[in-house]
Amino acid sequence: MSSTPRPAALIVRQASPPNLEMPFHTLDERITSGAGHYVRSHFPAPELNAQDWRLRLGGLVDSPLELSLEDLKAMPPHTLTATMECAGNGRLYLSPRRPGVQWDLGAVGTAEWTGVRLSDVLERAGVTPGALEVVLEGADCGTLTDPGRTPGEIHYARSLPLSKALDDVLLAYAMNGQPLTRDHGFPVRAVVPGWYGMAAVKWLTTLHVTGTPYQGFFQTVDYSFWAFRDGLSPQMVPINAMLVKAQIARPAPHDAVKADSSCEVTGAAWTGNGNVTRVEFSGDGGQTWADAELLDAPQPGVWRRWRALWQTPAQPGPVTLLARASDSAGRTQEDGYDAGRGGYMINFPLPITVHVQTGEA
């Protein structure tokens, strides 16, 4: 991307536990640095050491396992690139205000993850007939009162359908070629390509194969939404795959731009199913749209950076910029927000207000 990004420093949305976001206007490379990748924490980061850490696998398996970090590293390693977005990214744009961390645009990033395929670990244990889901539990624990009150102290845990667990899920011990940091889940975390970040359980210690749908707090009370299915009344279902979405990186919100000039607009777009196939840009609040240039080759589960040239208005004043993406599954971002999603899955075109000024901006 040709324009020069500003120096990066993670924005603190919550100090303890740390919830930090990337200043999205610093987007430049396709791979986000470990230091620049957003951090989402529900409870304080546990103190774990590589020597004593163990991963325990039980439930509907032939042979329960207890694996050390060295045991995992002795298995065939795999590296994948994945864009990960917090399910609440963009919550700041909702009105009325929704509960939860007030993320702006930067609770998203793309990294190269190295580890062991979850399918290889499950194969070693031998999944028995009747298995439906795999529950992933982390060492982090605590209590919450928002969005609901936990029944005392609980661990962070989510489940995956067995079909997803046997597909492309990684048990990662490295990020961009370096061991995981504590904030990013040292020593091992899950990476679930195409899904929102709540599925990527950090500080992973337990895998449990179950024959019934998991009904834990972060599967039902939190990270769930109302959906219409089978012609029935709305049902609460767990959040999973990322929706198609484009975001504008530069100009940043409330930037000043020079009137009657050519301005390069840059950003990124991603989707949880297939590839991004098109990004459109509007420099007049959605009255007209033009195709943006996609800068990266398509790669499932990985964002594509884009750019567009915008001829700014001759008259000074505020202007609303918008971007929208389409994907290979035939989906395009739509205006409006589904209130049934609560404060999650925010994928309507987000309005970026900039200020056109005469003279040097």
15 in the same domain as 147: yes
342 in the same domain as 223: no
254 in the same domain as 126: no
H helices present in the chain, as ranges:
69-73, 118-125, 162-165, 217-220
CB burial class (10 A; 0-12, 13-18, 19+) of residue 248? buried
Answer yes or no: are the C-beta atoms of 349 and 324 closer than 8 Å: yes
127 in the same domain as 102: yes
Share of the chain above pLDDT 90, in %: 92
Q: Indicate the DSSP class of residue 199.
A: G
* Residue at 24 is within a domain: yes
Each residue of 334-353: pLDDT tens digit?
A: 999 999 999 999 999 999 99
* Residue at 348 is within a domain: yes
Please check the confidence at residue 2 and state whether its pLDDT lies above 60: no
* Residue at 3 is within a domain: no
At 312 the pLDDT is 97
At 147 the pLDDT is 79
**Closest to 54 (Cα-Cα) out of 158, 162, 139:** 139
* Residue at 344 is within a domain: yes
344 in the same domain as 234: no
At 361 the pLDDT is 59
Please check the confidence at residue 1 and state whether its pLDDT lies above 50: no
CATH of the domain at 282: 2.60.40.650
Q: Which of residues 216, 238, 260 is at a domain's end?
A: 238
**Can you name the residues that pair with 158 across neighbouring β-strands?**
136
Q: Which of residues 182, 213, 238 is at a domain's end?
A: 238
Report CA torsion sign: 283, 284, 286, 291.
Answer: negative
- The three-point CA angle 25-29-33 to 5° equals 90
255 in the same domain as 188: no
Each residue of 141-175: pLDDT tens digit?
A: 999 988 788 999 999 999 999 999 999 999 999 99
327 in the same domain as 223: no
* Residue at 196 is within a domain: yes
Each residue of 45-63: pLDDT tens digit?
A: 999 999 999 999 999 999 9
Q: Which domain holds residue 346?
A: 245-357
* Residue at 2 is within a domain: no
The average confidence (pLDDT) of the chain is 95
Answer yes or no: are the C-beta atoms of 33 and 16 closer than 8 Å: no
Please check the confidence at residue 3 and state whether its pLDDT lies above 70: no
74 in the same domain as 37: yes
Rounded to the nearest 5°, which phi and psi values hold at 293? -90, 125
The helix (run of H) or strand (run of E) holding residue 249 is: strand 245-250
Give the residue carrying structure tokens 């089978």. 230
Each residue of 75-114: pLDDT tens digit?
A: 999 999 999 999 999 999 999 999 999 999 999 999 999 9
Each residue of 196-215: pLDDT tens digit?
A: 999 999 999 999 999 999 99
Q: What is the pTM of this model?
A: 0.95
At 360 the pLDDT is 66
**Can you name the residues that pair with 237 across neighbouring β-strands?**
225
Q: Which of residues 203, 238, 273 is at a domain's end?
A: 238
Each residue of 119-134: pLDDT tens digit?
A: 999 999 999 999 999 9
Tally of domains within the chain: 2
CATH of the domain at 25: 3.90.420.10
The mean pLDDT value for 286-295 works out to 98
Q: At 264, list the tokens.
A: 């390069």
* Residue at 1 is within a domain: no
215 in the same domain as 158: yes
